[in-house]
Amino acid sequence: MSEPPSEEAKQRKILHIDADSFYASVEMRERPELRGKPIAVGGQSDRRGVIATSSYEARKFGVRSAMASSRAMALCPQLIIVAPRMDLYRAVSRQFHQIFRDYTDLIEPLSLDEAFLDVSDCTRCSGSATLMAQEILARVRDELHLTVSAGVAPNKFLAKVASDWNKPNGVFTVPPEDIAQFVRDLPVSKINGVGRVTAENLRKLGVITCADLQAVPMEKLLRHFGKYGKRLSEVARGIDHRPVQSSRVRKSISVEHTYAEDIVELSAMLVAMDGIVAELQRRFDKIEEKYFPTKRVVKIKYRDFSQTTLEETIGSSGEDWCDPAQYRRLLAAAWPRGEKPVRLLGAGLRLQPIKHKEGQQMLLV
């Protein structure tokens, strides 16, 4: 009997989805008067601000992410710079993920607007990953009035490169039989992790494309790049076994308080809840860049140690996660379940992680 295929040998179907000029597109969707104009999201030029991203119209003038806003204004004097609204972008990101979850639970976010999806086991679209990608693009356009681009390939490395190939609003697929040809002319600078320094070191060895890299003997790569040399040699041939990792480092954050004396009145509990939520907000602020909240949770432990929790999904509008009024409302709904004096109250958020790209500059407000 033949062995079942190992995880590595199994042909995977990976999508890499990346929104087009994300923050700028969201702003143009929200403010129609900005559409078709060169706009950027970032800090103002007179306050030494930096550009987070720009619309495609602004890019024609050379306006780029991480550029000083003063330089962007010099390149494009009619540029409209708008302040970032992270809560709004997070809400949109959750909406992206709601669509993605119709195809797979194996989702690895890299940032708010970018994620890998392993759709190997998805049966929609007759199992065609390219059709799934096209359907996702259409749904994002129709339901969210935004555009994303997608790369479809048997692994993460190729899918990520491919999503840039037909940007904006396009799908590019690298089927297994095209891998050799696809990587041949690919500049090594496109390999995730090959920054300016590594690219320069490779250039000194005469390596510009993946084909050049394939020609370098392994022992030479190991000598120059240590363990990373092995990975370089693999990706140069289009091989990448890294799984899509949806595992969450932290699933929730919560604050609980046990009271020296039980609280009897609901009105007093509501006041106490405000203090707990303020602390939750303080703690969440510290990890805000790594996670976005999906649900609010309230926990009550009654005098007799029985307990109850009530959670609710956070809407996708740009609302305040730690809004005390929302927690009060949840508490008022949950308390009558026991209707007894309370010894402990808790408030929490269920979280989803956001991974940031290597070297990506964080925002900048």
Catalytic residue positions, numbered? 114
Q: Which is nearer to ligand TTP, 65 or 281 (CB)?
A: 65
Which one of residues 12, 13, 16, 18 is an interface residue with ligand TTP (CB under 6 A)? 18
Q: Among residue numbers 130 through 169, which ones bind ligand TTP (CB under 6 A)? A: 167-168
Q: Which residue has the tokens 């979280």?
A: 351
Q: Does 27 bind ligand TTP (CB under 6 A)?
A: no
Alpha helices in the chain (DSSP H): 22-30, 56-59, 69-75, 86-100, 129-139, 156-163, 179-184, 196-204, 210-214, 218-225, 228-236, 266-287, 324-334
Q: Which is nearer to ligand TTP, 164 or 212 (CB)?
A: 164
The CA distance from 156 to 114, in Å, is 12
* Residue 114 found at the interface with ligand TTP (CB under 6 A): yes
For residue 43, what are its two tokens? 């800090």
Based on the shown chain and the rule CB under 6 A, indicate whether residue 21 belongs to the binding site for ligand TTP.
yes
Q: Which of residues 111 and 307 has its CB atom nearest to ligand TTP in the complex? A: 111
CA 58 vs CA 76, 82, 323: distances in Å: 7, 13, 36
Burial class of residue 139 in the structure, from the number of CB atoms within 10 Å of its CB (0-12 exposed, 13-18 middle, 19+ buried): middle
Single residue of 14, 15, 17, 19 touching ligand TTP by CB under 6 A: 19
Residue 83 binds to ligand TTP (criterion: CB under 6 A): no
- Stretch near ligand TTP under the rule CB under 6 A, chosen from 15-23, 68-76, 151-159, 187-195: 15-23
Count CB atoms within 10 A of the CB of residue 60. Answer: 11
- Phi and psi at 241, nearest 5°, equal -95, 5
Q: Does 66 bind ligand TTP (CB under 6 A)?
A: yes
Told to check if 108 binds ligand TTP by CB under 6 A, we report no
Minimum CB–partner distance for residue 330 and ligand TTP (Å): 32
CA dihedral 29, 32, 38, 41 (to 10 degrees): -50
Strand order in 107-111's β-sheet? 107-111, 114-118, 14-19, 148-153, 171-173
Q: CB-wise, 16 or 301, nearer to ligand TTP?
A: 16
Whole-number Å distance between alpha carbons of 83 and 27: 9
Q: Output the smallest distance, CB 359 to ligand TTP, in A.
A: 8
Q: Which stretch binds ligand TTP (CB under 6 A): 122-130, 176-184, 257-265, 357-365?
A: 357-365
Interface ranges with ligand TTP (CB under 6 A): 18-23, 52-53, 65-66, 111, 113-114, 167-168, 360-361, 363-364
